[in-house]
């Protein structure tokens, strides 16, 4: 087996991700190349495993630098990373061991790997527990609506429709920009120190070609909010969703979830990942009221002695 390091994402890697049962949207070129263009200070690298001319696995990561110090993350912002293979445990193990060996490089404070599938076993890392909520899309949307949605959420969605709210798919960068303005307003209202730049939203939307969709809620001509979702194989990931302050009483958020779930069911998707809740119980309760069930996964981290004390890299490498 030959393991090499490359610094460009390629079409064969995308094809391998489509064939790998454990790969997620975050392993694809749409996400990785959008990050590269949006955050030039983060340098993409990828370990590839091969036999002859065939690539049998890869492990993507980003190099993050702060002065003389650095970190490696697969992947940054708390998104899912780790090895992509066709179920070959030997290839997966070799990639992870090679990745863990990067700790020997000078100035490296930490190495991280977000293991959504809970398949990585390596003593070099310490496991940190995380949870997301996933709705399994078994049956039609009407069946999920009756089985999984709490009565209060069904009532809220019906109220929104009676009052004239509509949810439609956005098709222009202008609509993405208008949605981004709402996102920024909400981040300020919530006193969030970190927010993604608008260029990441537009990069994802223009590169996505069906894998990235923005659904927006409107009342008359007013844009109330939206959900920017990722679509890969049979899974939808709800990556970013906000509504205006003034929309809180309109039930726009519940209607957005309802219509996005309807779209997913009607287009053959099998699961809907509602994303992490950042430790907020109110978000956990809300997701469970929609039928979301907790899925535990692990972030595997190695830190040097200096890394345990340093906090300079944390905002960018751990943000969900």
Give 239-277 pLDDT, tens digit per residue: 999 999 877 688 999 999 999 999 999 999 999 999 988
Q: What is the DSSP string of 45-74?
A: EEEEEEETTEEEEEEEEEEEEETTEEEEEE
Which residue is associated with the tokens 């069906």? 210
Residue-averaged pLDDT of the chain: 93
Strand duo 235-243 + 222-232: pairing: antiparallel
pLDDT digits (tens, 9 = 90+) for 127-145: 999 999 999 999 999 999 9
Three-class SS of residue 220? coil
pTM of this structure: 0.94
pLDDT digits (tens, 9 = 90+) for 148-207: 999 999 999 999 999 999 999 999 999 999 999 999 999 999 888 889 999 999 999 999
Q: Given pLDDT bands bounded at 50, 70 and 90, which one contains residue 314?
A: low
pLDDT digits (tens, 9 = 90+) for 25-59: 999 999 999 999 999 999 999 999 998 889 999 99
| Full residue range of the structural domain in which residue 78 is found | 2-130+298-318
Q: Domain of 260: which CATH number?
A: 3.40.630.30
Distance between CA 15 and CA 3 in Å, rounded?
19
* Res. 313: pLDDT tops 60: no
Which residue is associated with the tokens 């007013």? 222
> Within this chain, do residues 231 and 177 fall inside the same structural domain, yes or no?
yes
> Within this chain, do residues 143 and 262 fall inside the same structural domain, yes or no?
yes
pLDDT at 320: 39
Burial class (CB in 10 A: 0-12, 13-18, 19+), 126: exposed
Structurally, the chain folds into a number of domains equal to 2
* Res. 102: pLDDT tops 90: yes
Which of 250, 269, 288 is the C-terminal boundary of a domain?
269
């Amino acid at each position: 087996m030959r393991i090499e390091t490359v610094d460009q994402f390629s079409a064969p890697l995308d094809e391998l991700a489509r064939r790998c049962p454990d790969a997620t949207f975050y392993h694809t070129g749409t996400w990785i190349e959008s990050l590269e263009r949006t955050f030039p200070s983060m340098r993409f690298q990828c370990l590839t495993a091969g036999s002859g001319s065939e690539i049998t696995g890869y492990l993507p990561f980003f190099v993050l630098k702060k002065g003389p110090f650095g970190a490696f993350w697969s992947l940054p912002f708390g998104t899912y990373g780790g090895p992509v293979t066709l179920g070959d445990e030997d290839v997966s193990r070799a990639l992870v061991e090679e990745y863990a060996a990067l700790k020997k490089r000078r100035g490296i404070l930490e190495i991280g790997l977000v293991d959504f599938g809970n398949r990585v076993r390596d003593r070099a890392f310490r496991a940190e527990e995380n949870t997301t909520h996933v709705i399994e899309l078994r049956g039609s949307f009407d069946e999920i609506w009756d089985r999984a949605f709490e009565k209060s959420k069904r009532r809220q969605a019906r109220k929104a429709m009676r009052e004239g709210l509509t949810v439609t798919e956005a098709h222009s960068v202008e609509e993405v920009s208008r949605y981004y303005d709402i996102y920024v307003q909400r981040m300020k209202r919530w006193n969030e120190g970190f927010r993604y730049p608008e260029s990441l939203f537009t990069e994802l939307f223009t590169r996505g070609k069906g894998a990235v969709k923005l659904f927006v809620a409107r009342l008359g001509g007013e844009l109330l909010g939206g959900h920017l979702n990722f679509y890969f194989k049979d899974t939808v990931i709800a990556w970013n969703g906000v509504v205006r302050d003034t929309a809180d009483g309109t039930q726009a958020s519940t209607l957005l979830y309802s219509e996005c779930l309807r779209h997913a069911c009607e287009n053959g998707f099998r699961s809907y990942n509602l994303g992490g809740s950042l430790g907020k119980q109110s978000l956990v309760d809300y997701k469970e009221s929609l039928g979301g069930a907790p899925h535990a996964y692990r972030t595997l981290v190695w830190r040097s002695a200096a890394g345990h004390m340093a906090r300079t890299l944390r905002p960018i490498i751990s943000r969900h």
